[in-house]
């Protein structure tokens, strides 16, 4: 774990956000826990007089000692609430120290927004904040003590989870990064929950084989098709499952927009007659209005494609079969254009 922390700290880049989150990664209105260590204990870093030396050694940063004299204590005070959050994060049984520290990186860097972007103060602050953050270290003993204390207060049954995701929704063809954040529904403390998907989709951790809430994930999934009451198939979002020690598993549909087809048949179904019929079924996307390529079926028989002339022959004594449309690319649910004639 020490090796992993060193890699994450020295990387100097967050592994959490796929785009800037619109909410706090660690809510400020969390419920304080009695076993949490003090913010002062968590925030112990390099001595101020050594900051410039360590900055040069670890990152080749050129921090002005006078800047540290002028702003060092101001910044330490700004860091204390973040260190407090880290300490309370330690109280969750599922959370290791690396996870709790990783959660804080973006907020540590955001404290420099008190200075104008591009200014010397901003640049000095950015180097200072990153160096101070590296100096926090893993504090594994503090984490162990906190976990031991929290374990002595048994929970009354399994707790519940809640979540949010960035981006908030994805499209059916989205292939890219996303982050799912899991929280204790009552205390609002972050939880390092395991993330799993149903078998038709794939979700990977961008840095390895583990899929975990709070870390940036690579989405390579797609919608899935399931049977419906009409005997056809609907396209729906895949299912996500969050699991953590001491919590009830939480399942939810991936926040995915599923496109819909708008269909029109010419001539109308009630105008079809015995013998050969020429017809066309136009299909367009409900949102974009663009033509949709799909397959037109008459019962179990393939008539052809949407937006092209088709021929349907109804033999004497037979009733008109069900006319329906299906997507060959799992983008749209099956749609019945005309029910079978009764």
Query: pLDDT tens digit string along 33-51?
Result: 999 999 999 999 999 999 9
| Beta carbons of 132 and 45 less than 8 angstroms apart | yes
Residue 133 sits in the same domain as residue 31: yes
Find the range with the poorest average confidence among 202-211, 222-231, 316-325.
Answer: 202-211
Find the range with the poorest average confidence among 66-75, 154-163, 284-293, 329-338.
Answer: 154-163
Mean of the per-residue pLDDT values of the chain: 89
| Beta carbons of 203 and 181 less than 8 angstroms apart | no
| Beta carbons of 233 and 333 less than 8 angstroms apart | yes
Residue 41 sits in the same domain as residue 105: yes
Which residues, including other chains, have CB under 8 Å from residue 196's CB and lie 6 or more apart? Answer: 203, 211, 240, 241, 243
Residue 7 sits in the same domain as residue 132: yes
Residue 212 sits in the same domain as residue 96: no
Of 235, 241, 251, 242, give the one whose Cα is nearest residue 171: 235
Band (pLDDT 50/70/90 cuts) for residue 221 is confident
Burial of 80 (C-beta count, 10 Å sphere; 0-12/13-18/19+): middle
pLDDT in tens, 235-259: 999 899 999 999 999 999 999 999 9
Q: What is the pLDDT of residue 5?
A: 38
Cis peptide before 18 (omega within 30 of 0): no
Band (pLDDT 50/70/90 cuts) for residue 11 is very low
Band (pLDDT 50/70/90 cuts) for residue 21 is low
Measured CA to CA, the distance from residue 85 to residue 87 in angstroms comes to: 5
Residue 215 belongs to what domain range? 161-253
The total of structural domains in the chain comes to 3
Helix 65-89 to helix 97-110 angle, to the nearest 10 degrees? 140
Residue 283's beta-bridge partner residues? 263
Residues 75-88 have a mean pLDDT of 97
- Choose the final residue of a domain: 106, 129, 151: 151
Query: Is residue 7 over pLDDT 50?
Result: no
| Beta carbons of 172 and 75 less than 8 angstroms apart | no
Q: Which residue has the higher pLDDT, 331 or 279?
A: 279
Q: What is the pLDDT of residue 210?
A: 60
Residue 71 sits in the same domain as residue 33: yes
User: In 10 A of CB 327, how many CB atoms?
Assistant: 21
Of 188, 141, 183, 139, give the one whose Cα is nearest residue 164: 183
Share above pLDDT 70 across residues of the chain, in percent, rounded to a whole number:
90
pLDDT in tens, 280-305: 999 999 999 999 999 999 999 999 99
Residue 143 sits in the same domain as residue 228: no
Phi, psi of 261 (to 5 degrees): -100, 140
Instruction: Give domain status of residue 203, yes or no.
Output: yes
Q: What is the pLDDT of residue 64?
A: 94
- Choose the final residue of a domain: 124, 151, 178: 151
Instruction: Give domain status of residue 156, yes or no.
Output: no
Write the CATH number for 317: 2.60.40
Residue 215 sits in the same domain as residue 287: no
Q: Which residue has the higher pLDDT, 20 or 194?
A: 194
Instruction: Give domain status of residue 20, yes or no.
Output: no
Residue 215 sits in the same domain as residue 236: yes
Instruction: Give domain status of residue 19, yes or no.
Output: no
């Amino acid at each position: 774990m020490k090796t992993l922390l060193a890699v994450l700290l020295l990387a100097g880049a967050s592994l959490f956000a796929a785009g800037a989150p619109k909410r706090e990664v660690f809510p400020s209105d969390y419920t304080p826990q009695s076993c949490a260590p003090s913010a002062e204990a968590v925030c112990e870093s390099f001595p101020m007089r050594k900051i410039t030396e360590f900055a040069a050694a670890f990152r080749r940063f050129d921090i002005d000692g006078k800047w540290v004299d002028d702003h060092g204590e101001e910044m330490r005070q700004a860091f204390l609430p973040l260190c407090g959050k880290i300490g309370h994060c330690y109280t969750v049984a599922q959370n290791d120290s690396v996870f709790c520290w990783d959660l804080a990186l973006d907020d540590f860097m955001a404290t420099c927004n008190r200075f104008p972007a591009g200014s010397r103060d901003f640049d000095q602050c950015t180097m200072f904040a990153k160096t101070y953050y590296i100096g926090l270290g893993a504090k594994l003993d503090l984490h162990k003590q906190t976990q031991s204390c929290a374990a002595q207060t048994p929970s009354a049954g399994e707790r519940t989870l809640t979540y949010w995701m960035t981006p908030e929704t994805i499209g059916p063809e989205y292939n890219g990064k996303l982050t799912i954040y899991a929280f204790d529904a009552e205390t609002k403390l972050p939880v390092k929950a395991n993330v799993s998907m149903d078998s038709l989709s794939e979700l990977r951790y961008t840095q390895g084989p583990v899929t975990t809430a709070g870390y940036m994930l690579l989405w390579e999934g797609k919608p899935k098709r399931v049977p419906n009451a009409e005997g056809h198939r609907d396209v729906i979002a895949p299912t996500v499952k969050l699991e953590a020690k001491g919590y009830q598993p939480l399942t939810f549909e991936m926040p995915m927009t599923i496109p819909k087809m708008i269909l029109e048949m010419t001539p109308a179904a009630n105008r079809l007659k015995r013998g050969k019929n020429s017809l066309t079924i136009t299909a367009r996307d409900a949102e974009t209005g663009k033509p949709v390529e799909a397959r037109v079926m008459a019962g179990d028989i393939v008539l052809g494609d949407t937006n092209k002339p088709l021929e349907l022959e109804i033999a004497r004594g037979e009733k008109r079969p069900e006319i329906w449309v299906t997507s060959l690319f799992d983008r749209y649910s099956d749609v019945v254009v005309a029910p079978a004639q009764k």
